[in-house]
Chains A and B, each alone.
Chain A
Amino acid sequence: MSATKTKERKIVISPVTRVEGHGKVTIRLDEKGKVDQARFHIVEFRGFERFAQGRFYWEMPVIIQRLCGICPVSHHLAAAKATDLIVGVDQLSPTAEKMRRLMHLGQTFQSHALHFFHLASPDLLLGFDADPKIRNVIGVALKHPDLVKMAILMRKYGQEVIKATAGKKVHGTAAIPGGINKNLSVPERDELKKDIGQMLEWSVAGLNLLKKFYHDDIKRMSGFAAFDSNHLSIVAPDGRFDLYDGNLRAKDAAGKLIFDQVKNADYYKVIQEEVRSWSYMKFPFIKSLGPEKGWYRVGPLARVNNCDYMDAPLAEKERQEFMKLGEGRLVNATMAYHWARLIELLYSAEKIQELLNDKDLQGTELVREARHRGHPRRDQQEPVGSGARRAQEGHRPDAGVVGGGAQLIEEVLPRRHQAHVRLRRLRLQPPLHRGPGRPLRLV
């Protein structure tokens, strides 16, 4: 941390060591030493919208995941889901959907374990005020070697799930338009089954450790950086917790619904974005509440707060206990993110176990084909989904370029998405800065 003393002072905290990646906090103090402005900076400009233009649509799941080396699976699957729409496949085969779900659960399992044990546990186990030189995973290993071994093997297990489902531990290639290009072989399944019981046990142990820490220091944990907010997440049609797919639900701090069951492709009907002069980031907000009051939390806390139930018995029991923290409202304590994250870790372990016992994962219907729902191509009679088949076979299709022009949008996308895509294309044009506080019209 460094501080420069002028009339107005600025405190810079760089790097922020409790998030993966590169973050910075700047706090500007006025002449009286009061906080005038506080900002969290992250490398927000990545340019992927540009990279994607002119590329084949089936390349998207491979390109977009390069956003991150820690959580590529989420981006891989988000891009694959977008290409499902392009090829007109609304419903994947059970094998494809369950393979993708297992892949994503492997991702949340390894990522949540890494976050808690590697990034968060040094603060919790060694103390917020411990010497920064030892307040890291090596410091934790010195005092709690068994805990770090647990963390290493949980992360390793999650990566093995990803490898078995995505083909590679990092930047896999399995999710393709309309499905998946591999199933889970019996040897792969049996290898993963060997350790899932242990993973489940360790997930419970990690959660119990955090709960003990939380209750022992309840005043700080529930008060530190606690603030009311809205919460946004996806939920299944019946309100069930889901990490892979669902409809949008938003609640206010008290738990009152703001909107519910909005189809994820219709997000632009309820969410708007604005830009600020000092950042490339787009600032989303709930349309009906406006930019001042419409901001919201996402991630584990919002997901656990928003859902009606979890279809994993141990995690559901934990969710019910967790929700009592809010005393009838949602849980708005920032430190409760750790708790919610570990409930999701447990959920992931339970669902991985469930899927490993599901024979659909050894099914052979990997990709579904469908006819696109726009106008038929003038120069090509075969279904758009055939591109997926050729991608699977390793051929480069001769059609299906992203950002290739208005004609292509009309030909490839369902009619209901066309206007939106046209506007999004326009929105990619410079200038990126539109002045502070001026909302950007999306639709």
Chain B
Amino acid sequence: MGAEKAGGRLLVLGWGNPGRRDDGLGPAIIEELARLGIPGVTAESDYQLSLEAAADLAEAEKAVFVDAALEGPEPFEVRRLSPSANISFSTHAFGPESLLAVCEEAYRRAPETLLVGVRGYEFDIAEGLTSGAQANSRAALEFIMRLIQDWKEGRTWQQANWERRS
């Protein structure tokens, strides 16, 4: 379990429900990324964040979270995440900051983590992304590829970089 299976040190974790239109942005981007099979990169997706993701996180040098955004800038926005002890009691709603906090407390470390919030438009009960969300997902994937490249070449993730690039 864990490191051997994670197969890399950069974790890209996307979540959302593909049965709710653009909420499936995270899993759709992860699917594309997994298809590329980049060495050193673990691409995982789920309906929602869950406690056990802390184990994968603890083994990652850096992490990128990908989620759909109900509002905010197009095509996506990027935010650096810090562990936060504000927690929902229920694993039905386990936030990314809470996950980082569990990881930090349990494993005494948490990787540098960026959240890419990809703008979605429709979240009704249907499958398939809207055309706007599809365009945003392509832009987000390109951006994540650049983050991966930076990580591989030892460059730090500077806010100025992603502001300029996105």
Contact with B along A141-171 (1 / 0, CB 8 A): 1100100110111011101100000000111
Complexed CA–CA distance, A37 and B91 (Å): 30
**Contact among A145, A171, A194, A195 with B108 in the assembled complex (CB-CB below 8 Å):** A145
What residues of B have a CB within 8 angstroms of the CB of A276 in the complex?
none
What residues of A have a CB within 8 angstroms of the CB of B105 in the complex?
138, 141-142, 145, 148
Residue A287, interface by CB 8 Å: no
Residue A119, interface by CB 8 Å: yes
Which of B1, B52, B101 counts the most chain A CB atoms within 10 A?
B52
Q: What total count of A-B pairs have CB within 8 Å?
A: 79
One of A14-22, A73-81, A357-365, A395-403 at the interface? A14-22
- Beta-carbon contact of B1 and A137 below 8 Å: no
* Number of chain B residues close to chain A: CB under 8 A: 24
Q: How far is the CB of A437 from chain B (nearest CB, A)?
A: 33
**Contact among A20, A148, A195 with B91 in the assembled complex (CB-CB below 8 Å):** A20
- Beta-carbon contact of A21 and B90 below 8 Å: yes
Secondary structure dominating the interface of A? helix
Given contacts A153-B1, A153-B55, A157-B1, contact A141 B102 (CB under 8 A): yes
What residues of B have a CB within 8 angstroms of the CB of A159 in the complex?
50, 52
- For chain A, the bracket of interface size reads 35 or more
Q: Nearest residue in B to A18 (C-beta to C-beta)?
A: B89
What residues of A have a CB within 8 angstroms of the CB of B54 in the complex?
152
**Contact among B5, B47, B87, B98 with A170 in the assembled complex (CB-CB below 8 Å):** B47
- Beta-carbon contact of B89 and A69 below 8 Å: no
Which of A156, A157, A194, A195 counts the most chain B CB atoms within 10 A?
A156
What residues of A have a CB within 8 angstroms of the CB of B106 in the complex?
141, 145, 148-149, 152
- Beta-carbon contact of A70 and B92 below 8 Å: yes
Contact with A along B79-120 (1 / 0, CB 8 A): 000000101011110000010011001111000000000000
Complexed CA–CA distance, A191 and B90 (Å): 30
Chain A 56-85 residues near chain B, CB threshold 8 A: 69-70
- Beta-carbon contact of B102 and A152 below 8 Å: yes
Residue B126, interface by CB 8 Å: no
Complexed CA–CA distance, A348 and B100 (Å): 30
Complexed CA–CA distance, A155 and B52 (Å): 6
Complexed CA–CA distance, A15 and B46 (Å): 25
Complexed CA–CA distance, A157 and B89 (Å): 22
- Beta-carbon contact of B52 and A149 below 8 Å: no
**Contact among A69, A152, A195 with B52 in the assembled complex (CB-CB below 8 Å):** A152
**Contact among A21, A133, A134, A148 with B102 in the assembled complex (CB-CB below 8 Å):** A148
- Beta-carbon contact of A160 and B107 below 8 Å: no
What residues of B have a CB within 8 angstroms of the CB of A118 in the complex?
51, 91
Q: How far is the CB of A227 from chain B (nearest CB, A)?
A: 25
Contact with B along A17-32 (1 / 0, CB 8 A): 1101110000000000
Complexed CA–CA distance, A160 and B48 (Å): 16
Q: How far is the CB of B27 from chain A (nearest CB, A)?
A: 11
Chain B 50-87 residues near chain A, CB threshold 8 A: 50-52, 54-55, 85, 87
Contact residues of A with B, CB < 8 Å?
A: 15, 17-18, 20-22, 69-70, 114, 118-119, 133-134, 136-139, 141-142, 145, 148-149, 151-153, 155-157, 159-160, 169-171, 191, 194-195
Contact residues of B with A, CB < 8 Å?
A: 1-2, 5, 46-48, 50-52, 54-55, 85, 87, 89-92, 98, 101-102, 105-108
Query: What are 14 residue pairs bridging A and B, where the CB atoms are less than 8 Å apart in the complex?
Result: A15-B89, A17-B90, A20-B91, A70-B92, A136-B87, A138-B85, A138-B102, A141-B102, A152-B102, A155-B51, A156-B1, A159-B50, A170-B46, A194-B1
Ordered nearest first, which 6 A-B pairs have the shortest CB separation?
Answer: A141-B105, A156-B52, A17-B89, A148-B106, A141-B106, A155-B52
